Amino acid sequence: MNGGRILATIVKASSARVSTSVASAGGSERLWQAFAVVSVAGLSWWYFAAQRQPSATRHHGLVTGLGWIGITLALLAASLSVRKRLAYQGMGRLSAWLSAHIYLGVVAAFAIIYHSGFRTGGPLTGGLLAFFSLTVATGLLGWWLARRVPPLLTAMEETPAILEDLLAVRADCLRGMLELAEGGSDEFRSLVERRLMKDAASWGRMLRFYRRRSTLAQELPDFQKEHQAALLLMREDERSAFLRVVEYALRVNKMNAELFLQRLLRGWITPHLVCTAAMFGLAAVHIFSVLYY
> Closest distance between ligand HEM and the C-beta of residue 17, in Å?
23
Query: 268 near 138, Cβ under 8 Å?
Result: yes
As a whole number of angstroms, the distance between CA 176 and CA 84 comes to: 43
Which of 115, 149, 146, 150 shows the shortest CA–CA distance to 129?
115
> Closest distance between ligand HEM and the C-beta of residue 165, in Å?
23
In Å, the largest CA–CA distance within the chain is 88
Contact with ligand HEM (CB under 6 A): which of 78, 107, 181, 246? 78
Which of 238, 283, 269, 223 shows the shortest CA–CA distance to 72?
283
R_g of the chain computed on alpha carbons:
28
Contact with ligand HEM (CB under 6 A): which of 100, 115, 246, 255? 115
**Quick one: angle between helices 123-156 and 239-267, nearest 10?**
140
> Closest distance between ligand HEM and the C-beta of residue 163, in Å?
17
As a whole number of angstroms, the distance between CA 274 and CA 281 comes to: 11
Q: 19 or 120, CB closer to ligand HEM?
A: 120
Name 129's Cβ contacts closer than 8 Å, sequence gap at least 6: 112, 116, 120, 121
Please identify, among the stretches 183-191, 224-232, 255-263, 266-274, the one whose residues bind ligand HEM according to the rule CB under 6 A.
266-274
> Closest distance between ligand HEM and the C-beta of residue 13, in Å?
29
Which of 148, 149, 147 shows the shortest CA–CA distance to 263?
149
Site for ligand HEM contains 107 (CB under 6 A): no
The dihedral through the CA atoms of 171, 177, 182, 186 has a sign that is: negative
Residues 131-160 that bind ligand HEM (CB under 6 A): 132, 135-136, 139-140, 142-143, 146
- DSSP category for residue 62: H
Site for ligand HEM contains 70 (CB under 6 A): yes
Contact with ligand HEM (CB under 6 A): which of 20, 120, 154, 190? 120
> Closest distance between ligand HEM and the C-beta of residue 278, in Å?
11
Name 268's Cβ contacts closer than 8 Å, sequence gap at least 6: 138, 141, 142, 145
Site for ligand HEM contains 289 (CB under 6 A): no
> Closest distance between ligand HEM and the C-beta of residue 175, in Å?
36
> Closest distance between ligand HEM and the C-beta of residue 117, in Å?
5
> Closest distance between ligand HEM and the C-beta of residue 63, in Å?
5
As a whole number of angstroms, the distance between CA 287 and CA 64 comes to: 10
As a whole number of angstroms, the distance between CA 252 and CA 235 comes to: 25
Binding string, 188-217, against ligand HEM, x = CB under 6 A?
------------------------------
Interface ranges with ligand HEM (CB under 6 A): 63-64, 67-68, 70-71, 74, 77-78, 80-81, 84, 98, 101-102, 105-106, 108, 112, 115-117, 119-121, 125, 128-129, 132, 135-136, 139-140, 142-143, 146, 269, 272-273, 276, 279, 283, 286-287, 290-291
